Structure formats: structure tokens, C-alpha cells
Amino acid sequence: MGVVAALVRSSFLVNAVYAESSREYGITPQQGQLLCVLMPKPYGMGELGAVLGLAKSSLTGLVDRTAQRGLVRREPDPEDGRAVRIELTGEGRRIADAFYEETCRRIDLLPSGLDPVERERLAELLARVVLDNEVPVVFAGPGA
């Protein structure tokens, strides 16, 4: 299998994990990704759109639906009175933490057929691809 097929098929595996985990917590995979991005800190809408790679209208809809579920809220930006920052609510934090832990556990099982040295090499190579392509931190990984 070539690198293109391997990467594309790997993305399907990870997307399937997101879908399984999100169903368990009653959220969409996109809401799960939003919650994970917001775990370390609140974001302004512009920053959030850039990190998630979403157009303003798509992001607004995602934030609206997630806010209606009581998982995020809009707060005034202390540096810009016209802007808002999106942050997790208490319930959002609880679901984000549980979703994140479960998703990490499931993703960690994907390369279970590799020995520890192979797993480390896989992590190194994938990290290079991610860093070389300046992928935003949308999922830090366990212990990060």
C-alpha cells in the first residue's frame, strides 16, 4: 500500500473513532472536535475558524448547536468589546474530558499490532508530517 492510500485510509479509521465516541456522548464528531479544541482555553470566533478550518457560517452554526446543548457559551472578549470568545461550560468540560479520554483510548488501540519500537517510529513519522504541514493543534493527545 502506498503512502497516499495509507494516509487516506488512516484518516477513515480516526474519523470512525470520532464517530463512535461522539455517539456514546450524544454529540456529533464536529462537536467533539470543537470541545477538544476548547479544552485548554477559550477562543475567539476568528481563531476558532482558523484552527478548525471552517468558514464563518459553518462555525457559527456549529457553535450555536453546541451552545443550545449547554456545552459552550459565548463570553465577551476582554480585549475587544465587539467580539466574543467561545468557552466550555461546566457540562461541556465534563463531556469534553470524558470524550477526549475515550477517543484517546480508542485511537491508541488502532496500532495495537505494532511493537513499542514500531509505535514510536510511527509517531515520529506522523509528527513530522503534521509539523511540516503546520496542522493546528486540534487534538493534543494523551498527557499533553
What is the dihedral sign for C-alpha 56, 58, 61, 67? negative
What's the structural domain count of the chain?
A: 1
Confirm whether 143 is domain-assigned: no
Is 79 in a helix, a strand, or coil? coil
Confidence of residue 140 (pLDDT cuts 50, 70, 90): low
Confidence of residue 82 (pLDDT cuts 50, 70, 90): confident
The domain spanning residue 72 has which CATH number?
1.10.10.10
Res. 64: pLDDT tops 70? yes
Confidence of residue 19 (pLDDT cuts 50, 70, 90): very high
Domain that holds residue 13: 3-132
